[in-house]
Amino acid sequence: MTSEATATPMPFAAAWSLCRREIVRFLRQRNRIIGAIGQPIIFWLLFGTGLTGVFRASGQGGADESFTVYFFPGTLLLIVLFTAIFATISIIEDRNEGFLQSVLVSPVPRWSMVLGKVLGGTILAVGQAMIFLLLGYFVGIHMNAVQLVSIFGILVVAGIGLTSLGFWLAWRMDSTQGFHAVMNLLLMPMWLLSGAFFPIPTNTSSLGQWALSWVMTLNPVTYALGAIRQILHAETAPSFLGGQTTGQFWLPSVGLGVTITIVFAIVMFALACRAAGKTRRGDWI
């Protein structure tokens, strides 16, 4: 009876231990803190200042909206994306150092290891993103408590999805160099084609615009960003699974954005657990 009672919480206790290890490791490496939040802030300031005139001249921004305000939700997701990259790269380091092999031979299920890694990366990502979110007050982005809680929830789900995606990719990698190459090839275009820089075009008269519209529409990051952008602007979409069309651009509704983001997180976490369940050549001591 006692053994069953102690065995039940073991997977979650192991997951929490791995999660806490990721947080402690991050806090002890100041260069990771600077790189994860410093670079997105620099991007936000440089692009926001340099492209404000072009943004208003194109007619995309409102009378009082600058590119700094428009680019703000994209910077939030960029912080989550960078933290996911830095958090999941520890999988390769743990394998090379022998720590991962010790976890794999333990009696805890492998989904517990995935949960711990994903939770650790998500907590770090959302924590940094929320710090940046508070900086929005200095550029005229005012939010109430409902907006803050709503954005927090979307960032948590998006963080789980992106960190799970990073885990799924890192599990197949043997070197950090190859991991960075794949991340730059996959995750950065996902962010760039999410509406962070420019909205989804509805004018598909040319082949290029048609392809761009479909790629951005199929991109799961698009929906997390669209939901955050509408919440920041205190806008609600006309229907739960619809979208909002403004001029020549389309923006997913809050309901659609939340739904797709949740599905993306569930699918990526399941893929990460499935990948971790398969034994690789380097997983043995």
Q: What is the DSSP string of 106-154?
A: SSS-HHHHHHHHHHHHHHHHHHHHHHHHHGGGGGT----HHHHHHHHHH
Q: Look at residues 211, 208, 199, 284 and name the one whose alpha carbon lies nearest to residue 250.
A: 199
As given in the structure block, the two tokens for residue 87 are 């958090």
Which stretches within 89-109 are classed as H helix? Answer: 90-97, 99-104
Count structural domains, the chain.
1
Q: Look at residues 91, 90, 116 and name the one whose alpha carbon lies nearest to residue 171.
A: 91
- pLDDT-based confidence at residue 228 (cuts at 50, 70, 90): very high
- Provide the pLDDT for residue 2: 43
As given in the structure block, the two tokens for residue 236 are 């609600």
- pLDDT-based confidence at residue 241 (cuts at 50, 70, 90): very low
Look at residue 282 and tell me if it is in a domain.
no
Per DSSP, the three-state class of 70 is helix
| Percentage, residues of the chain above pLDDT 90 | 19
Q: What's the pTM?
A: 0.83
- Provide the pLDDT for residue 250: 76
Domain that holds residue 249: 11-277
Residue 128 has φ and ψ, to the nearest 5°, of -70, -40
Q: Between 72-88 and 10-28, two packed helices, what is the crossing angle to 10 degrees?
A: 110
Look at residue 5 and tell me if it is in a domain.
no
Q: Look at residues 55, 47, 117, 65 and name the one whose alpha carbon lies nearest to residue 89.
A: 117
- Residues 170-184, mean pLDDT to the nearest whole number: 81
Looking at every residue in the chain, the average pLDDT score rounds to 79
Look at residue 77 and tell me if it is in a domain.
yes
* pLDDT at 1 exceeding the cut of 50: no
Burial of 252 per CB tally in 10 Å (0-12, 13-18, 19+): buried
State the Cα–Cα distance between residues 265 and 245, nearest whole angstrom: 26
Q: In this predicted model, what pLDDT tens digit does every residue of 30-60 receive, in sequence order?
A: 776 776 677 777 878 777 777 766 655 444 5
State the Cα–Cα distance between residues 118 and 15, nearest whole angstrom: 9
